[in-house]
Structure 1
Amino acid sequence: MQRILITLLFLLGVSMSGVAGAETSWWQSDWKYRKPISLDAGAAGLGADVGRAPVLVRLHSGNFAFDGVAADGKDLRFVGADGRTVLNHQIEQFDPGLGIALIWVDVPSIRTGVPQTIWMYYGNENAPAGGNGQLTFDPDYTAIYHFGEQDGAPRDTTAYGNHARNALQPADAAVAGRGLQLEGEPLIVPASPPLAVAEGGAFTFSAWIKPDRLAPNQAIYSRRDGAGAVLVGLDNGTPFVEINGVRAAADALLETGQPTHLAMAAGNGQALLYVDGREAARLEAPLPALNADTLIGADSPVALPAEGEGDAFAADAPLAVAAAPFVGAIDELRLSKVARPAALLLADTVSQGAGSRLTAFGEDEQSAGVSHFGFILKAMPVDAWVVVAVLFLMFLASWAIMIVKSRYFGAVARANAAFTEHYRKAAGESITRLRDLAGSGHLGSGIQDRSTLWNLYRIAIDEVKGRQAHTGKIRLSDSAIGAIRASLDAELIRETERMGRRMNWLSTTIEGAPYVGLFGTVIGIMLVFAVAALAGAVDINSVAPGMAAALLCTAAGLGVAIPALFGYNWLAARSEAIAADMSVFVDEFTARLAEESEDGTLDAVAPASRA
């Protein structure tokens, strides 16, 4: 029994070590290849935790061969550092012919000092199109323009659908793939409820710009609504932010032909201007209420005061442009309804440029074949492992009971069969003759130690001897024989109870293990839906692993209960068979005892040896 338990514990240790090493095991065997992508915020120079952020994965012939992947990238899947969470992604550009791909991946958390590895899987020709592009960016982004369209007006890639009104000339050599070339005509983003800004509210504008010509008061972002106005621009290369005519300028000076990340985050009564992710200017002014069109690359006309009327505006006052148009390229334009933190804007700067220090690519790996069961094990959360651990303890206990009981019943059955053979031979003359074999050692210690029939026989002989010594008679009365039978019946009941000891644990395992597994399944499914709701992901790839892991708890419960059910029925049958043999022996022995006592052939006996 000890050897069996040691073997089971060894197998448990092996399985747990396999699970511990499953952190980097394959996600799904249907995908043939994967590439590790390391995200190191420390190496990128990020000084604070970023949290959730869209990270640009820039693939080119230098880090990816584009072999084995679908022509449109539909089989691309990105899996988180835990090895099982599917991350949303949005493909901006995927061109295996040119050997370039730009993919935005929704990373749940970027933390300083904690490098993490996400995995890009590919190589499944039967994979459906995936990505959930609109979920890649958090819902506080109200408009995002990658400018990757071949023709037509730029399109907003968020779920809000704030598409631009007009089409402009593309810029092929932008920061992240294709951009937009501005030559004096603005890009117009129509007003919409998601883009509306409440008075004193919050807002963020960010974009990559590459000026071709510097001039005074160039407008990059402009929005005017009545007396309220917000302007972000360049003044002879110096970035500035202006709210209702009040301006704050940065100390930085931009150069022509050089890409720069420019952002303005406003909220709590102030506006912060960021240049390449670093705060460059601060303006203490709340945002006005804005619900008009947004102009990118130019300013809208404003009314000028009529001559001789001071600051008053005449109804027919002439219109003028307060700021000059911006000339150059713009890329990755983003509008948000919240004030984005500095850490996120810095992460955008260091991760979106061509020389990104945030991402590092490892060597491609090929699947050697992974079982679906291994995938399910890897997807199991902590609560599921707790349930499985409880079921495993029930499994060990039930199997230990079944093994011990099986060996015991087997030994008793063999000993009873051997005793019965000796009893039949020795009892040809008298039922008391078998005591002589026990005294001489011919009966064997195995029979005397394990046979329940020998134990009944010994008790009966002791009862016969006691009554013969008490009455001085060899013959026994009917009442004495009845008393002897009562002693044998009592021993039969006690032996039956001993055989049934711990059998109730098996019945508890049979009935309880499925409920324990079902409890784990219910908790697991609740967590799957809760996590999916919080993450905003309801696709099959995001919920299927958790559902499979939850159902594994029920399967584990059945896996514990079914063997226990078969074992219980088998052991109960063997126990009943032994009890039936004992009952038959009691009937046969008392009948022979009464017969020999009546005929006078019953011998005077000495008490049977217990050894």
Structure 2
Amino acid sequence: MPGLFVLLALLVFPATAHAWWNEAWTLRKAITLDTPGASDGAPVLVRLHVGNFQFDRARGDGGDIRFIAADDKTALPHHIAQYDPLLGEAFVWVKVPEIKAGATLWLYYGNPAAPAVEDAPGTYDADTTLVWHFGERGQPARDFSGNSNHAAGPGIPAEGTLIGTGLRFDGRTTVHAPASPTLAWPANAALSWSAWIKPATLTGRALILSRRGGQNALLIGAEQGVPFVEVTAAGATRRAVSAAPFGANTWHHLAFVAEGARATLYLDGQPAAMLDAGIPALDTPIFLGGDRAAAAAPVTDGFIGEVVEVQLARAARSAAQLAFLAASQGGESGARTVLFGEEEQSGATTGGHAGYLTVIVQNLTVDGWIVIAVLAGMSVLSLAVMAGKNSYLSAVRKGNERFLKLFNERVASDMTVLDQAGPTLAVTEAEQRLITRSPLYRLYHIGAEEIRKRLSETKKREDKTLSAHAIKAITASMDGGRVREQQRLNKQMVLLTIAISGGPFLGLLGTVIGVMITFAAVALAGDVNVNAIAPGIAAALLATVAGLAVAIPALFGYNYLLTRVKDVTADMQVFVDEFITKAAEFYPKRASEKARLSDTDS
């Protein structure tokens, strides 16, 4: 039960706090920015997860979170874009006055009674005109800049993007910001726009941002996966194309900066294209996800993929600032840029936690110990299943990749070539062991064996044919093998579902029994006071904590493993279809047989 062990460790070994901002807040962490350059202040994305934040010690909505400057006195404006204590994930934006290497701030929490003091507009400077986080899940995106430039429609939510919930575009839908005074641009004005983009396809022309008005237009998108910016002023079009392309199904930070008669397109924080033209005067709606002349007009050049974190400002952001934003907001790069220190506890609570644990342990009843022991066994079992299943799926993925490479390279005219002994396979012994663990190879073996049976008596290459009935029989055999492979992939996953659903109920059972025993003991003693009841109740609740500590890791692991199993299952379905198609192509029906069938039909 890792979650329970961590909780007990925090109770037994509390840290010593120094220069505490406010004693009402019991926990804090130092956050340090590791960036090579320096720039003016900017909103910094702080990612919170179960590895760096105790959600059970904070307010249910994160309202007690505070960010304090390095002087441990000055509160910094911040706001919470998304907060999910059940999943153990939150995205918080805080305004850091100066971005430089070693810049430090403090994250305080652990005061459930504290009021929420979020300041979304204060997190951004006065030049910021639009900020969409897309955490509304089915509702129109809210503008966090304070300018009320909310989206006109909800769009299609995309869960689990680079920064929480984003939007998914299918090439047929758009989301737009209606025209407003704060979104009106004069010609050659200073402008900065940025977003995180994950294209699902790199073919064709796809517009990510479009704005048209009369003979003026600003278009930002990609053509054949290569980002571009296109400016049209008074009917004259200027275009700049990035030297670096997008990667399919890969997140990229795309930004556009214009000032005067010059504009720059940035990709992943680096300049990618220059344009000797400023932006034209525009005051029309801004469309995201495709090109539209108006909200009711059809979508052209639609974008297919995911988008998150769209920002727009009436200022030209510096190259250093854009490089920092791209690095700090990325997944792995963000973890290297925004660094969390060790957690500290306030001096007001340091001396008491060991006593709390002693009270809980001393008052835990026998039934509570039994329940916790059972839950500990469930936790060990679920962790073993998750570790084993994850290792197995990793080996399956590697084996599938190696086998598919061999299949695509060597299967030319003989579908059974990879299923023959001897030097035909021509791989090392280690690769052979890896391939044999591949479900795709086992499906291939079934198909190759079925083909070999039907062609065993045929000697001439031109006579090696398969009838339609034979193809159907081979398909049925491979489908049966695919079902058995799916059963193998899902083996023991039920143990995780038992831990997820049964752990909290067992913990609740231990808590209820403990509460019953506590009240029964109080009734027998005839001593009704808080000091007589509280220790027993606190000890009884430990069983519920233990149940949740079993269920939560199992829930995360189950969903992660289920996603990987679905990926392998999809690969198997695709392979079966590809194998059957190639078999029908390599062993076609004989012309004479076709003629006989034609005569019979006539």
TM-score range, shorter chain: 0.5 to 0.7
Give the letter for the 2:150 counterpart: H
Instruction: State the alpha-carbon separation in 2 of the partners of residues 357 and 263 from structure 1.
Output: 21
Q: In structure 2, which of residues 308, 317, 320 is the aligned counterpart of residue 331 of structure 1?
A: 308
Matched residue, 1:117: 104
Matched residue, 1:267: 259
Taking only the aligned residue pairs, the percentage that are identical comes to 42
Give the letter for the 2:143 counterpart: D
List gaps (5 residues or longer) in structure 1.
1-22, 43-47, 303-318, 371-611
Go from structure 1 to structure 2 and tell me whether the alpha carbon gap of 1:105 and 1:24 turns closer, same or farther (over 3 Å shift).
farther
Matched residue, 1:252: 244
Matched residue, 1:143: 130
CA shift at 1:24, angstroms?
5.6
Give the letter for the 2:328 counterpart: S
Residue 277, structure 1, aligned to residue 274, structure 2: no
CA shift at 1:83, angstroms?
1.1
> Any idea what SS the aligned residue of 1:134 has?
helix
Give the letter for the 1:367 counterpart: S
Go from structure 1 to structure 2 and tell me whether the alpha carbon gap of 1:163 and 1:216 turns closer, same or farther (over 3 Å shift).
same
Corresponding residue pairs, total: 326
CA contact (8 A) 2:173 2:299 kept: no
Matched residue, 1:193: 181
Deviations 1:65-93 (A, max 9, x none): 32321111111111011111101111011
CA shift at 1:116, angstroms?
2.4
CA shift at 1:215, angstroms?
2.6
CA contact (8 A) 2:64 2:112 kept: yes
List gaps (5 residues or longer) in structure 2.
1-16, 350-602
- Residue correspondence of structure 1 range 325-474 to structure 2 within 5 A: 325-355=302-332, 356-369=335-348
Matched residue, 2:448: none
CA-atom RMSD in angstroms: 2.1
Q: How does the TM-score come out when normalised to structure 2?
A: 0.52
> Any idea what SS the aligned residue of 2:348 has?
coil
Instruction: State the alpha-carbon separation in 2 of the partners of residues 281 and 85 from structure 1.
Output: 40
Instruction: State the alpha-carbon separation in 2 of the partners of residues 322 and 73 from structure 1.
Output: 39
CA contact (8 A) 1:217 1:323 kept: no
Q: Of the two, which has the highest radius of gyration?
A: 1
Matched residue, 1:228: 216
CA shift at 1:299, angstroms?
0.8
Give the letter for the 1:203 counterpart: L
Instruction: State the alpha-carbon separation in 1 of the partners of residues 316 and 23 from structure 2.
Output: 42
Instruction: State the alpha-carbon separation in 1 of the partners of residues 252 and 153 from structure 2.
Output: 25
Deviations 1:346-375 (A, max 9, x none): 1111111121321111111111139xxxxx
Instruction: State the alpha-carbon separation in 2 of the partners of residues 214 and 323 from structure 1.
Output: 16
- Residue correspondence of structure 1 range 34-45 to structure 2 within 5 A: 34-42=28-36
CA contact (8 A) 1:203 1:338 kept: yes
Instruction: State the alpha-carbon separation in 2 of the partners of residues 237 and 297 from structure 1.
Output: 15
CA shift at 1:150, angstroms?
2.4
CA shift at 1:301, angstroms?
4.0
Instruction: State the alpha-carbon separation in 2 of the partners of residues 211 and 246 from structure 1.
Output: 24
Matched residue, 2:152: 165
Q: How does the TM-score come out when normalised to structure 1?
A: 0.52
Instruction: State the alpha-carbon separation in 1 of the partners of residues 277 and 243 from structure 2.
Output: 19
Deviations 1:91-140 (A, max 9, x none): 0111222111110011011124xx02211111123211112122111121
CA contact (8 A) 2:77 2:123 kept: yes
Matched residue, 1:206: 194
Q: In structure 2, which of residues 82, 85, 90 is the aligned counterpart of residue 93 of structure 1?
A: 82
Give the letter for the 1:97 counterpart: L
Matched residue, 1:487: none
Matched residue, 1:61: 50
> Any idea what SS the aligned residue of 1:287 has?
coil
Deviations 1:484-538 (A, max 9, x none): xxxxxxxxxxxxxxxxxxxxxxxxxxxxxxxxxxxxxxxxxxxxxxxxxxxxxxx
Residue 242, structure 1, aligned to residue 219, structure 2: no
Instruction: State the alpha-carbon separation in 2 of the partners of residues 320 and 71 from structure 1.
Output: 43
Q: In structure 2, which of residues 89, 96, 102 is the aligned counterpart of residue 107 of structure 1?
A: 96
CA contact (8 A) 1:90 1:131 kept: yes
Q: In structure 1, which of residues 109, 126, 132 is the aligned counterpart of residue 119 of structure 2?
A: 132
